[in-house]
Chains A and B, each alone.
Chain A
Amino acid sequence: QQQVKQSPQSLIVQKGGISIINCAYENTAFDYFPWYQQFPGKGPALLIAIRPDVSEKKEGRFTISFNKSAKQFSLHIMDSQPGDSATYFCAASESNFGNEKLTFGTGTRLTIIP
């Protein structure tokens, strides 16, 4: 079963606009929620992450919003740029003394058009 559900599958946003990608999870033991960014021909790389003790985390133009009661979290990209065009994966893990494994969403292909 899909433990982390991600939407939309693809997204086209105009340059300067806001890109929003949503994820929902079922396992209440998850306590770490990262987002990974993947450019064509490359492996995914960590972009930004949040723990459930805060409702929002911002790093530059990237913001994670977290709703613990709804078991949902989302990535917002402000002032989206063509260089943001990539595939984005949300993920989740539960604490396991450093032996955490990540469960990924299905990915969102983001295209920023001029």
Chain B
Amino acid sequence: DVKVTQSSRYLVKRTGEKVFLECVQDMDHENMFWYRQDPGLGLRLIYFSYDVKMKEKGDIPEGYSVSREKKERFSLILESASTNQTSMYLCASSRQRIAPVEAFFGQGTRLTVV
């Protein structure tokens, strides 16, 4: 079974803190994604990566950055957390050059910024 593991299920951080959300996948997938999920807004793509050390902005990258130093690990960084970043964050991975794409998701990290 494909497994995408997010390091924390729940996080509470203070405004202005630097926050790291970690994601690891064990299926040697090339593609990795970070989404945030908010009621009424669905899943919105923050950043994605098709290769190690490579990153591309998604639809809502402002206030976020990412790091991919190893193929299996994709980190989302909130440079200075704000209350409007309180959300559920979902990491996903998929295999490259396999069509159609199937994204495998982690269980999510519910982040609260106070």
Beta-carbon contacts under 8 Å, A1-46 to B: 6, 9, 32, 34, 36, 41-46
B56: min CB distance to chain A, Å = 9
Residues of A within 8 A of B44 (CB): 104
B45-A89 in contact (CB<8A): no
Contact of B103 among A9, A51, A102, A106 (CB under 8 A): A102
B40-A106 in contact (CB<8A): yes
Residues of B within 8 A of A49 (CB): 100
Interface size on B, residues (CB 8 A): 31
Residues of A within 8 A of B81 (CB): none
Contact of B97 among A34, A46, A98, A103 (CB under 8 A): A98
Contact of B99 among A43, A98, A103, A104 (CB under 8 A): A98
Residues of B within 8 A of A36 (CB): 103
Beta-carbon contacts under 8 Å, B75-114 to A: 90, 92, 94-108
Q: From DSSP, what is the main secondary structure of chain A's interface residues?
A: loop
Binding site for A on B (CB under 8 A): 4, 30-31, 33, 35, 40-45, 48, 50, 58, 90, 92, 94-108
30 contacts between A and B (CB under 8 A): A32-B99, A32-B101, A41-B107, A43-B4, A43-B90, A43-B105, A43-B107, A45-B105, A46-B102, A46-B103, A93-B100, A93-B101, A97-B97, A98-B95, A98-B97, A98-B99, A98-B101, A99-B50, A100-B94, A100-B100, A100-B101, A101-B33, A101-B58, A102-B101, A102-B103, A103-B45, A104-B35, A106-B42, A107-B40, A107-B43
